[in-house]
Amino acid sequence: MPVAEREVLVLAQDMTISRDAFLRSLPAAVDDAAFRIDASEIRPLDSRQKWRIVVAALSDLSIGMITLPRHRVEIFLTDCGAEETRRFLERFELYFRRAGG
């Protein structure tokens, strides 16, 4: 849910990833921006950064004997044009792509 007036939800997806694995990959995905974690919400420490990420646990995905952790990931951007949004999402996807894309 947007919290700022000009904040826009630009990505909402379920990911088969543990919270720890998500947090390990996140620094590279946000261009090494420092951030703080408040429960399910992740925000940059630099107020000039224009993103906010919400990570919420979902029930595990079971396929036969395999169980995979899942999380709902939502990315919100504030005052970003189309090109800036595209660059942010491409970088994010690059660092969370699995099995060669």
| 64 occurs within a structural domain | yes
Q: In the chain, how many domains are there? A: 1
| 32 occurs within a structural domain | yes
Burial of 16 by CB count in 10 Å (0-12 exposed, 13-18 middle, 19+ buried)?
Answer: middle
Q: Which amino acid is at 7?
A: E
pLDDT given at position 56 = 97
H or E element that contains 62: strand 51-63
The CATH number for 80's domain is 3.30.1370.80
| 101 occurs within a structural domain | no
pLDDT given at position 100 = 46
Q: Which domain holds residue 38?
A: 7-96
| 89 occurs within a structural domain | yes
Tell me the H-state helices in 1-101: 19-29, 82-96
| 2 occurs within a structural domain | no
Residue with token string 């995979």: 68
Q: What are phi and psi of 48, to 5 degrees?
A: -80, -20
Reading the chain (101 residues) residue by residue, the pLDDT tens digits are 656 678 999 999 999 999 999 999 999 999 999 999 999 999 999 988 999 999 999 999 999 999 999 999 999 999 999 999 999 999 999 999 864 44
pLDDT given at position 22 = 95
